[in-house]
Chains A and B, each alone.
Chain A
Amino acid sequence: MRLGQVTITGFGGIAGTAQLNLSADVVILQGANGFGKSTVCDAIAWCLSGEHPRGADPRSLYSLTGETHASVELISPEARTWTVRRKVANPGAERLAKLDSTVVVEGDEIQLRGTEAIDWIARTLVRATGSTPAELFRLLVDSYYLQQESLREFLVGRSDDERFAALSTMVGAGALEDFVRAFDTARRAWSRSLTEQQNQLGSLASLLTAARARCTLLEEELRHAGRDDLPAAREHWLQSARLALQTAGVDPSQDLTLGDAISSLRNLDAESRRQAEGIRVALADIEGITPPQAPLGSGVTRDELARQAAVVRELELDEERAAEAVRLTRAALEAQRAEREDLAAMATIALRHVSEACPTCGQAVDEGELRRRLAGMLGDSGGGALARALDDAIRAHERVGERLSAEVTGLTRLERVRDAEERGLAARRVYDERQQEELAHLEQLVASIPARADANLPPQERARAVLEQLRERQADISDLLARGGSLEARLEALGKVSSLRAAELHAQEMEREHAEVSATLAARQATGTVAETLMKELKRDSEEFLNARLREMQPLLDQLYAAIEPHPTFRSVALETRNWYGKNRLDAVARDPSHGVMMPDPGRSLSTSQANAMAVTVFLAFNLGLAPTALQTVVLDDPLQNLDDVHLLGLVDLLRRIAAHRQLVVTTHDRHFGALLARKLRPLDVSRRVSVVEIVNWDRSGPSFDVEQVQADLVPLKLTRDVA
């Protein structure tokens, strides 16, 4: 199967549509860097596998059609053709993961879509089996398409166990690897389940021990319970209980059982305690009542109080009268003093104007006499009798007040005595009433208790007698209950015969289960041991299977490596497997056979040119020697990168030999390299075609191609034509 027509739309840097016919034995795609050579290779890989080989988003940012589309024509050796089309919408900012791509395969009487189309591609192009579809498609792309630096990444970047897994798939051991992985996972799970079963067996052993111990305990209890004459003891106890209940006023049934009797006795015990407590509280209450302390019969009568009150009222009237007399005398004295002050004022004025004639009427007056009389008016204070009368009235008032005070004090004292006496009388009445109530309550309590007590005794004495009887009853009940409990326990122990049988059955069941689990575990452990042995063999075989394929491939790898000869002393390269910590791993090694020296990690140790040359030879060895894909095409994307002149010539010579076995698609940014390839890979007969596809222009819609066919050299032997 080879590649034919390729159409790319809205992919990567190709916004429009680019069409390219690859149906030649050798296609040299040349163009400046950035002109879309890698995009063409990536689009082919995306179309066939559904994955962008460099993990990029396939959609063009400048998509002109709103979709990303690629179609690749596949041509069989018998010239049958199929076209694989893959399409994904290109709605702009929408994440690629949310978009479904559609795949269609058409041609040679088939038209398949979706899963059927994907199955067809895998079945037709990938020879390997096993692994996931994604891994198979990755293997497909890895095996025909050498991206720039990708194989160096395989040799240097991936871990050794990843390399082993990838190469296992490539050599067709993917199904074996899948089986080994699945078996190892199952074996580990089995081992974990064995641990769990061992734990379960341990738990069963503990339960079995416990069951046996319970049987022993029950046997012991039964032996103890069977020693006495239990029925006679039970009957005797029931008689005692019945009597105790009857004495306490309870009428037990004729078919009284042990349990009923114990229950009744417990009720009776509680009732007796309640009654005794009631009597004790009532007695305490009675004794706690205190008689009144107030004096009684002090001798103060109502008449004495009345008399004293009358004396007080009489004195209060006298005191009011005396006060009135004082007020009147004081008022008269004040009036007299006002009159004298007026006369003195007039006399003062008259004295300033006195002469021989009266200033008012003009009559002649005795001036001297007049002045004496006026002077006498000024000096006369007057009122001496009234002042004395006032003093007398005040003293009389004070005397009456003193007497009144004394009598009021006497009256107050008599009233206090009388009040105290009345309070004492009231308290006494309360005391008497409460004592009567408490005694009545006590008598009611005592009367409610069936007991023998002398009715002639005072209530408190009778109550104490009943209390004593209750105390004796409680002691009897306690004794009965203790003995009844013991009887009940022994009877219960006798009932454990069935428990013992159940426990023995349980123990037997446990023993059986323990034996079964133990046997099952032993068998499963044996299987685990076999599985472990098988696992070791599977891992050995998995490694050996890959080694056998690598050994088959090794002569070709030697040829290819020698053709480029990247290193003057490390002249041999090999891929070697090893098992490390239970995992199969794969490493590339370079050797100097003449000195037996090995370089374990040549991808890191060689120069870039040497490492790239080695990577190309390993890739070609995979493709030619392992042939993991039915696609008879090798796509080399700018293999010139970092190769020096000698390695470059070696590569070209090698490609010339590869071209006899594979369709070659080689891209290059170097026109001189392109021209060298065209000369050296020139066709030597008319049946072969070599195309040089020049990317002559590029804009946002995509590249423009100019295709030229390399002329065939139909007389390739120049010096030995005659000999040939």
Chain B
Amino acid sequence: MSEALLEFQVASAVARVLAEHGALPVGLSSDGSLGPLTYAFEDPHSIIGVSAFGSAQALIGGWLQAQDAMARLVARAGGELGAKAWDTYLVLVAEEPIPKDSRVAIAEIRGNTRYARKLVISSDDALADPNRTQESNIARSLAPLLPLELPSSVSFRDPLSTLSGRLGATGVRPDDLEAVISAHRRGLPLIAELHSRLTGEGGLE
């Protein structure tokens, strides 16, 4: 990573997150034709360009050049691109917060779907949720490009079988609670069963 890139902390984080989620980095040529692009990635579904700007104002002034650079990048694939031409994404990064008077212009850029879908990420997004790390916040902003992480396991244990372990102090012994649950399953009167257990009169049959 070059010195210049270190200035772009948010963009660097974007690149890290994409790489960590399996996106392959695309080598950018040094001839300057892809200058506005800071990073580029590809996965089987999409081609992603990342363009970093110092401020929102710079972003508003330079995003079209970034889009052109993205077009040049995609053109490398020539006629083999096929349907993937519809899967180009341009991540526009502003390293500073977006001032109030730029928000309309930024929203318009986000809403522009020509050629590539645009994601705009600023330092605001990196700090969006103070309970998350910056990378986590950035990952959230990159969600449209990242694979889904499903819960590792979904269990459907019978919640009644572990009920006594979950309850606080109730004055009911676990085996008595089991007896009441058993009565419920057999369609017997619940409190009568509890009463008979509490008073030692034996369970209902």
| Chain A residues packing against B (C-beta within 8 Å) | 127-129, 172-173, 175-176, 178-179, 182-183, 186-187, 189-190, 523-524, 526-528, 530-531, 533-534, 537-538, 540-541, 544-545, 552-553, 555-556, 558-560, 562-565, 568, 571-572, 593-594, 624-628, 644-646, 649-650, 653-654, 656-658, 660-661, 676, 679-680, 682, 684, 713, 715-720, 723-724
Is B16 interfacial (CB 8 A cutoff)? Answer: no
Question: CB distance B117 to A719 under 8 Å?
Answer: no
Is B32 interfacial (CB 8 A cutoff)? Answer: no
Cβ-closest chain B residue relative to A723: B24
Given A533-B171, A544-B166, A657-B148, A593-B128 contact (CB < 8 Å): yes
Name the contact of B163 in the complex, choosing from A176, A530, A717 (C-beta under 8 A): A176
Cβ-closest chain B residue relative to A630: B156
Which 5 pairs across A and B sit closest by C-beta, in order of nearness? A562-B143, A716-B44, A718-B77, A593-B129, A176-B159
Question: CB distance B191 to A718 under 8 Å?
Answer: no
Is B204 interfacial (CB 8 A cutoff)? Answer: no
CA distance A563 to B127 in the complex (A): 18
Q: In the complex, what residues of B have CB within 8 A of residue A531's CB?
A: 191, 194
Question: CB distance A646 to B73 under 8 Å?
Answer: no
Name the contact of A594 in the complex, choosing from B107, B124, B163, B168 (C-beta under 8 A): B124
Given A537-B167, A571-B128, A718-B42, A530-B150 contact (CB < 8 Å): no
CA distance A553 to B148 in the complex (A): 13
Q: In the complex, what residues of A have CB within 8 A of residue B171's CB?
A: 530, 533-534
CA distance A541 to B165 in the complex (A): 10
Given A176-B159, A649-B117, A533-B84 contact (CB < 8 Å): no
Cβ-closest chain A residue relative to B23: A720
Question: CB distance A534 to B170 under 8 Å?
Answer: yes
Would you give the 0/1 interface string for B99-134, flagging 1 where the beta carbon is closer than 8 Å to chain A?
000000001001101000100000010011111000
CA distance A330 to B189 in the complex (A): 138
Cβ-closest chain B residue relative to A524: B195
Question: CB distance A182 to B190 under 8 Å?
Answer: yes
Cβ-closest chain A residue relative to B180: A183
Question: CB distance A541 to B129 under 8 Å?
Answer: no
Task: Report the minimum CB–CB distance from A354 to chain B (whole Å).
Answer: 161
Given A568-B107, A593-B128, A183-B184 contact (CB < 8 Å): yes
CA distance A656 to B45 in the complex (A): 9
Is B181 interfacial (CB 8 A cutoff)? Answer: yes
Q: A127-B156, A556-B151 are in contact. List 16 more A-B contacts (CB 8 A).
A: A172-B156, A173-B159, A189-B191, A527-B198, A534-B194, A545-B166, A562-B140, A562-B143, A563-B144, A593-B128, A593-B131, A649-B113, A653-B145, A657-B147, A660-B148, A680-B87
Task: Report the minimum CB–CB distance from B47 to chain A (whole Å).
Answer: 6
Task: Report the minimum CB–CB distance from B182 to chain A (whole Å).
Answer: 11
**Residue from B43, B124, B149, B154 with most neighbouring chain A CB atoms (10 Å):** B154
Cβ-closest chain A residue relative to B177: A534
Question: CB distance B24 to A724 under 8 Å?
Answer: yes
Question: CB distance A680 to B86 under 8 Å?
Answer: yes
Task: Report the minimum CB–CB distance from B63 to chain A (whole Å).
Answer: 16
Q: Label chain A's interface by main secondary structure.
A: helix
Question: CB distance B172 to A534 under 8 Å?
Answer: yes
Question: CB distance B166 to A646 under 8 Å?
Answer: no
Cβ-closest chain B residue relative to A661: B150
- Give me 21 A-to-B residue pairs in the complex whose CB atoms sit less than 8 angstroms apart, sorted by A's number: A172-B157, A173-B159, A176-B159, A183-B180, A523-B199, A538-B163, A545-B166, A556-B150, A559-B149, A560-B148, A562-B143, A565-B143, A593-B129, A594-B128, A625-B150, A627-B154, A645-B111, A657-B148, A660-B147, A718-B47, A723-B25
Task: Report the minimum CB–CB distance from A568 to chain B (whole Å).
Answer: 7
Cβ-closest chain A residue relative to B103: A568
Question: CB distance A625 to B151 under 8 Å?
Answer: yes
Question: CB distance A717 to B144 under 8 Å?
Answer: no
Q: In the complex, what residues of A have CB within 8 A of residue B61's CB?
A: none
CA distance A555 to B129 in the complex (A): 14
Task: Report the minimum CB–CB distance from A565 to chain B (whole Å).
Answer: 7
Question: CB distance A680 to B47 under 8 Å?
Answer: no
Cβ-closest chain B residue relative to A679: B83
CA distance A565 to B47 in the complex (A): 20
Question: CB distance B163 to A541 under 8 Å?
Answer: yes
Given A527-B194, A562-B141, A719-B26 contact (CB < 8 Å): yes
Task: Report the minimum CB–CB distance from A523 to chain B (whole Å).
Answer: 5
Question: CB distance A654 to B156 under 8 Å?
Answer: no
Name the contact of A186 in the complex, choosing from B45, B124, B159, B190 (C-beta under 8 A): B190
Q: In the complex, what residues of B have CB within 8 A of residue A540's CB?
A: 168
CA distance A642 to B8 in the complex (A): 38
Is B81 interfacial (CB 8 A cutoff)? Answer: yes
Cβ-closest chain A residue relative to B40: A719
Q: In the complex, what residues of A have CB within 8 A of residue B87's CB?
A: 680
CA distance A128 to B155 in the complex (A): 10
CA distance A125 to B167 in the complex (A): 31
Question: CB distance A654 to B44 under 8 Å?
Answer: no
Question: CB distance A719 to B47 under 8 Å?
Answer: yes
Q: In the complex, what residues of B have CB within 8 A of residue A724's CB?
A: 24
Q: In the complex, what residues of B have CB within 8 A of residue A528's CB?
A: 191
Question: CB distance A645 to B113 under 8 Å?
Answer: yes
Is B58 interfacial (CB 8 A cutoff)? Answer: no
**Residue from A182, A556, A559, A658 with most neighbouring chain B CB atoms (10 Å):** A559
Question: CB distance B160 to A176 under 8 Å?
Answer: yes
Given A537-B170, A538-B167, A649-B117, A719-B42 contact (CB < 8 Å): yes
**Residue from B166, B167, B180, B191 with most neighbouring chain A CB atoms (10 Å):** B191
Question: CB distance A533 to B159 under 8 Å?
Answer: no
Q: In the complex, what residues of B have CB within 8 A of residue A719's CB?
A: 26, 40, 42, 47, 73, 76-77
Name the contact of A527 in the complex, choosing from B42, B145, B163, B195 (C-beta under 8 A): B195
Name the contact of B80 in the complex, choosing from A190, A545, A679, A718 (C-beta under 8 A): A718
Cβ-closest chain A residue relative to B47: A719
Q: In the complex, what residues of B have CB within 8 A of residue A649's CB?
A: 113, 117
Q: In the complex, what residues of B have CB within 8 A of residue A644's CB?
A: 111
Question: CB distance A179 to B166 under 8 Å?
Answer: no
Task: Report the minimum CB–CB distance from B187 to chain A (whole Å).
Answer: 9
Task: Report the minimum CB–CB distance from B137 to chain A (whole Å).
Answer: 9
Is B158 interfacial (CB 8 A cutoff)? Answer: yes
Would you give the 0/1 interface string for B63-78, flagging 1 where the beta carbon is closer than 8 Å to chain A?
0000000000100110
CA distance A660 to B195 in the complex (A): 53
Q: In the complex, what residues of A have CB within 8 A of residue B181's CB?
A: 179
Given A679-B83, A718-B42, A527-B191 contact (CB < 8 Å): yes
Question: CB distance A594 to B45 under 8 Å?
Answer: no
Question: CB distance B83 to A713 under 8 Å?
Answer: yes
